[in-house]
Structures are given as structure tokens and as C-alpha cells.
Amino acid sequence: MLPNAVNLPAEEIESSTDAKDVSNAPGPVAKLAIVIPTLREAENIRTVLNRIRKALDPLGFPYELLVVDDNSRDGIDTIVQEVAKTDSRVRLLIREHERGLGGAVLHGWKNTEAEVFGVIDADLQHPPELLPQLWKAAEAGHDVVLASRYAPQGALDNWHPARHFLSRTAIWLTYPLQKAGIRVKDPMAGFFMVRRCALKDVELHNRGFKILLEILVRGKVRSVKEIPFTFGARRAGDSKANLRVGLDYFALLYRLWKSR
């Protein structure tokens, strides 16, 4: 296995010694497992959990919510534990010696038996009310379903033109890497679902923020569905975007080009 790479077997669940499950009780085996990666998101997490459950509960299917926190120490553990006391579908995993969105997402996926994996940010820039549409598309058989800012009718809320240009340029660089027939308009999306079988025996790198791109390029993906949405403003807390994120992205592009 490559350094900093994680393999997600089709049926095996792995655990990490660098993290501990501190929820009151493990959630039930779920068909959908949504990972919510967090770092200093205590101000948002209760609202996120409530809105996700309000959106999904009417559909009547089994799911679980995995809050994977990078040892924020901002009180988020207390909040999630309070919610978990009344809803066993909510679990908290704390990574004590690691940082990074990609690694947090993969750690959550490794700790569930769900058939479909999902990820949503905790800052409410991803509207939980879109989850039923994503789920229905996944249930229809698509291997990957993503909430897309650049699909027709998708939008970006109050982005500076320079940021919009950088985002478009980053996406343009991915087109030669994407597979013919399943190219998407927003491979940088952080709000998506993917079938476990599409990741069988695929080593995914656990650094960086753009895990979807690696899934699209290296996964066993046969069909993709993009659901348009408006990428909103952060509700509370601070953005985690920085120079390191950009460097990790270019490192990812290099690894993907090299492995072709």
C-alpha cells in the first residue's frame, strides 16, 4: 500500500488505534453512513445533525451519522454525545493524532458497515435538505451522486471573481484525468455519496480535501449523477482553506497523472 493510503475492503471493517469511539453506544448497522468531518465546528454541529435527521427521517430507511472530529477540544464532543443519548444513529469518532478532511472521511467510512457512504461539511454550506435527492439517485443505482455547484442550475453564493476563477481552473485541470463517459462538472465537490462496491480494493490517499476526484479517477465507478445546488455561505466558525490545501491538491493531481 502506498504511504498515506487507505484501502476500503468491500465487507471488512477496520479500526484505528489513533482514534476512539466516544459515543454512548455504537449506532446500528446502516444502509447509508454519512460522515461529517469536523475541526472546531461546535457552533454548527447541533444544527447540522438536526437538519440532516429532519431531511432523512421521512424517507424511512436506515442510516447513521458519523461525526469524525480532529480533536477540536471546543466542546463538540459534549454536544454530539448529548444528541447520541437520544439517537443511537449518531456516533462520534475522535482522531487524536491526525488532521485533514480526506483522512477524517476515510476513517469514518472504515468504521461502518453501510452499503453507501456519504460526506457533508459541518459549516452548512452544503444544505442537508438536498440529501433526499442524493439518496434517491444512489438508490436508483448510480455509483456516485454529487451535489454540484457547476451543473446546470447550480450556483455559488457571493464568491469573489478571483476565487471563482481559481475554482474553474482547478476543475479544468481534472478533465484529462477523468474517465470518458462519466466526466462530471464538479469533481471538487465535498458533498456526495458513493457505493461501497465502487471502492473495493481501491487505495485512497488520506491527505488533502479533494477525495471525490480520486474516487472518480481510481474507483470502480460506472455511473455518476450530479444534483445542482447553491453553495452557500458558512454559518459560523472559520474556513479551513489555506495554502496547504492548494499544495495538497496539486500533489493529488501529480499522483493521479503518475498512476495513469
pTM score: 0.82
Provide, rounded to the nearest whole percent, the portion of the chain with pLDDT above 90. Answer: 55
Q: What CATH number does domain 14-258 carry, 3.90.550.10, 3.20.20.210, 3.40.109.10, 3.90.1150.10?
A: 3.90.550.10
Cα 83 from Cα 46, distance rounded (Å): 8
- Judge whether 101 and 68 are in contact, CB under 8 Å: no
Cα 95 from Cα 196, distance rounded (Å): 22
Q: In Å, how far from its chain's centre is CA 244? A: 19
pLDDT at 259: 74
pLDDT at 191: 96
Question: What are the residues whose beta carbons fall under 8 Å from the beta carbon of 86, sequence distance 6 or more?
Answer: none
Better-predicted residue by pLDDT, 166 or 52: 52
Is residue 83 exposed (0-12), middle (13-18) or buried (19+ Cβ within 10 Å)? buried
- Judge whether 211 and 105 are in contact, CB under 8 Å: yes
Question: What are the residues whose beta carbons fall under 8 Å from the beta carbon of 9, sequence distance 6 or more?
Answer: 200, 201
Q: Write the DSSP string, 153-202.
A: T-EESS--HHHHHHHHHHHHTTTTTSPTT---S-TT-SSEEEEGGGGTT-
Residue-wise pLDDT tens digits, 16-43: 334 555 444 433 334 899 999 999 999 9
Cα 5 from Cα 205, distance rounded (Å): 4
- Residues for the chain: how many in total? 260
Residue-wise pLDDT tens digits, 66-100: 999 999 999 999 999 999 999 999 999 999 988 88
Q: Write the DSSP string, 110-125.
A: HT---SEEEE--SSSS
pLDDT at 27: 38
Residue 70, all three cell numbers: 480532529
